[in-house]
């Protein structure tokens, strides 16, 4: 008997809890856009609508019925007195309103214009009518979704690194890096996130280029915690040379994560980029612009398989030396390949501007000879200075005496010999 009574009480409690439970819905809006908070109820006349945010009334609308004989003739003409009041100007700032002509039809939806991050929270719709009350709960989430992703090669830090940038995002996203083909080296990016006065994040993630692997595709992926679409950007850079008058193929291949992408080619010769051609993945056709239409060719049958290489026909040094960029794009993703192309002169001869200068070698040799000659002269001067001795050197005086004595003895001997010879002759 006791168990039966306990079970009955439990079922009765569940029944009351179910009846008293307020319907709940979650709405996600974007920053600076209008937001719709739904609320519906059984219409019964004399409606009063109140919207609460964290149990604080932020909007109130009152309506009273009046006698009108023509009310049945035109349902859309609501001849009823009504008044609306914004009770919390600090929270919503007069940006909230309802559709008065829909109240009599059971629709108390709140329109919140130019929503911001401060508008996040739990809202409750409370409607009183002639027949009773009705409540509805709305959980409002406000986000700033990713609108674009920039990936570029930077050398400002003294070394080459990939820089992945996202701006005006909320909540703070998650950034991951990868390469194609995959590498066994650990990728150690440095990611910084800064919030502005509105609470929106600016994300700056940098990855230093791996040494000895020049043909890698670097992939940056950014995802938000709300589960929206993840954005992906990838980049590869290379350099190639060609000869004037000889056709040249500029390679471009899409990574495996892109499916059925569109393709664009552009060129920059030191000025603003100019458009070369566009390939539409839906129609399978490519359209080139003048004057490139007579110099470029694209194999449209290979593009769906990820090969967007461009054939440059009859290239000229002055016209076609520069940076070529191909861009594969899909919704929420893009792959870019930037190729610096140098067109040499005819028969492989390089232009004067591109020809490496050898004058520095000649100058280096001359400088070396001058330096060697200076060293030799310095050594000779030092050696001469060491060889000379002072005039009052005792050793030098002794040597002079020896020379003088030896000279006097030689003269004496010669005189003796001469006298002896004279006596014999006598």
Give the residue numbers spanning the domain of 243: 230-352
293 and 340 in one domain? yes
Does the pLDDT value for residue 209 go beyond 50? yes
> Which candidate, 176, 169, 178, 184, places its Cα nearest to that of 228?
169
274 and 307 in one domain? yes
For the chain, give the mean pLDDT. Answer: 79
Number of domains in the chain: 3
136 and 150 in one domain? no
Q: What are 105-137's pLDDT values in tens digits?
A: 999 999 999 999 999 999 999 999 988 899 999
In this prediction, residue 40 has a pLDDT band, given cuts at 50, 70 and 90, of very high
- How many alpha carbons fall within 13 Å on the CB side of residue 263? 33
Of 257 and 67, the one with more pLDDT: 257
Among 58-62, 100-104, 214-218, 262-266, name the most confident range: 262-266
Indicate whether 43 belongs to any domain: yes
Indicate whether 360 belongs to any domain: no
pLDDT score for 81 = 53
Place of tokens 């610096």: 340
Indicate whether 5 belongs to any domain: no
pLDDT score for 374 = 84
Final residue in a domain of this structure, among 308, 330, 352:
352
120 and 25 in one domain? yes
pLDDT score for 385 = 64
In this prediction, residue 62 has a pLDDT band, given cuts at 50, 70 and 90, of confident
Q: What are 147-181's pLDDT values in tens digits?
A: 999 999 998 877 899 999 999 999 999 999 999 98
149 and 113 in one domain? no
- Tell me the CATH number at 114: 2.60.40.10
pLDDT score for 87 = 53
Arithmetic mean of pLDDT, 208-216 = 87
Arithmetic mean of pLDDT, 348-377 = 69
User: Can you read off the two tokens belonging to residue 186?
Assistant: 């650990």
Does the pLDDT value for residue 190 go beyond 60? yes
271 and 202 in one domain? no
Q: What are 370-425's pLDDT values in tens digits?
A: 888 888 888 877 777 665 555 454 444 444 444 444 444 544 344 444 444 444 34
Final residue in a domain of this structure, among 177, 201, 225:
225
Indicate whether 132 belongs to any domain: yes
Q: Which residues contact 377 (CB under 8 A, 6 or more apart)?
A: none
Indicate whether 247 belongs to any domain: yes
SS (H, E, C) the chain: CHHHHHHHHHHHHHHHHHHHCCCEEEEEEECCCCEEECCECCCCCCCEEEEEECCEEEEEEEEECCCCCCCCCCCCCCCCEEEEECCCHHHHCCCEECCHHHHCCCECCEEECCCCHHHCEEEEEEEEECCEEEEEEEEEEEEECCCCCEEEEECCCCCCEEEEEEEEEECCCEEEEEEECCCCCCCCCEEEEEECCCCCEEEEEEEECCCCCCCCEEEEEEECCCCCCCEEEEEEEEEEEEECCCCEEECCECCCCCCCCEEEEEEECCCCCEEEEEEECCCCEEEECCCHHHCEEECCCCHHHCECCEEECCCCHHHHCEEEEEEEEECCEEEEEEEEEEEECHHHCCCCCCCCCCHHHHHHHHHHHHHHHHHHHHHHHHHHHHHCCCCCCHHHHHHHHHHHHHHHHHHHHHHHHHHHHHHHHC
Does the pLDDT value for residue 96 go beyond 70? yes
Indicate whether 29 belongs to any domain: yes
User: Can you read off the two tokens belonging to residue 246?
Assistant: 């000889």
Between CA 91 and CA 133, with CA 40 as vertex, the angle to 5 degrees is 85
CA dist 61 and 70 (Å) reads 24
CA dist 64 and 258 (Å) reads 60
Final residue in a domain of this structure, among 352, 385, 400:
352
Does the pLDDT value for residue 290 go beyond 50? yes
Please state, in angstroms and as integers, the Cα–Cα distance from residue 304 to each residue in 254, 259, 271, 300, 312, following that order. 10, 8, 31, 8, 20
CA dist 173 and 230 (Å) reads 10
CA dist 312 and 85 (Å) reads 69
pLDDT score for 140 = 95
In this prediction, residue 17 has a pLDDT band, given cuts at 50, 70 and 90, of very low
> Which candidate, 130, 336, 331, places its Cα nearest to that of 233?
336
235 and 176 in one domain? no
Indicate whether 375 belongs to any domain: no
Indicate whether 377 belongs to any domain: no
248 and 211 in one domain? no
122 and 40 in one domain? yes
Arithmetic mean of pLDDT, 289-309 = 90
SS (H, E, C) 274-287: EEEEEEECCCCEEE
pLDDT score for 67 = 44
299 and 237 in one domain? yes
User: Can you read off the two tokens belonging to residue 243?
Assistant: 């000869």
256 and 148 in one domain? no
Please state, in angstroms and as integers, the Cα–Cα distance from residue 31 to each residue in 147, 175, 415, following that order. 12, 21, 131
pLDDT score for 267 = 95
100 and 32 in one domain? yes
CA dist 384 and 397 (Å) reads 21
pLDDT score for 273 = 87
Q: Please count the residues of the chain.
A: 426
């Amino acid at each position: 008997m006791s168990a039966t009574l306990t079970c009955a009480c439990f079922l009765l409690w569940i029944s009351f809890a179910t009846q008293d439970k307020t319907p709940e819905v979650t709405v996600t809006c974007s920053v600076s856009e209008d937001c719709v908070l739904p609320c519906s109820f059984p219409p019964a006349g004399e409606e009063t609508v109140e919207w609460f945010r964290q149990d604080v009334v932020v909007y109130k609308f009152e309506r009273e019925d009046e006698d009108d004989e023509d009310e049945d003739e035109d349902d859309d003409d609501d001849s009823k007195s009504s008044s609306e009041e914004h009770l919390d100007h600090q929270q919503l700032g007069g940006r909230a309103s309802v559709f008065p002509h829909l109240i009599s039809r059971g629709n108390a939806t709140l329109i919140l214009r130019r929503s911001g991050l401060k508008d996040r929270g739990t809202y409750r719709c409370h409607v009183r009518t002639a027949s009773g009350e009705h409540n509805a709960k709305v959980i409002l989430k406000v986000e700033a979704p990713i609108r674009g992703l920039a990936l570029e090669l930077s050398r400002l830090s003294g070394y080459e690194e990939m820089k992945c940038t996202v701006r005006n995002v909320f909540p703070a996203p998650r950034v991951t890096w990868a390469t194609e083909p995959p590498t066994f080296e650990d990728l150690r990016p440095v990611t910084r996130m800064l919030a502005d006065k509105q609470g929106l994040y600016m994300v700056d993630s940098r990855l230093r280029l791996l040494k000895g692997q020049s043909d890698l595709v670097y992939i940056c992926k950014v995802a938000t915690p709300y589960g929206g679409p993840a954005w992906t950007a990838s980049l590869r850079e290379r350099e190639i040379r060609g000869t004037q008058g000889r056709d040249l193929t500029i390679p471009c291949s899409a990574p495996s994560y892109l499916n059925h992408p569109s393709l664009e080619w552009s060129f920059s010769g030191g000025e603003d980029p100019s458009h070369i051609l566009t390939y539409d993945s839906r129609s399978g056709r490519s359209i080139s612009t003048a004057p490139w239409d007579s110099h470029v060719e694209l194999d449209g049958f290979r593009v769906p398989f990820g090969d967007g290489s461009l054939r440059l026909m009859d290239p000229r040094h002055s016209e076609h030396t520069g940076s070529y960029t191909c861009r594969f794009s899909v919704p929420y993703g893009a792959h870019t390949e930037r190729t610096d192309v140098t067109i040499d002169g005819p028969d492989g001869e390089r232009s004067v501007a591109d020809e490496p200068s050898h004058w520095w070698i000649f100058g280096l040799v001359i400088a070396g000879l001058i330096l060697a000659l200076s060293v030799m002269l310095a050594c000779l001067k030092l050696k001469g200075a060491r060889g000379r001795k002072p005039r009052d050197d005792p050793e030098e005086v002794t040597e002079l005496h020896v020379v003088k004595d030896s000279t006097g003895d030689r003269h004496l001997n010669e005189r003796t010999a001469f006298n002896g010879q004279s006596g014999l002759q006598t």
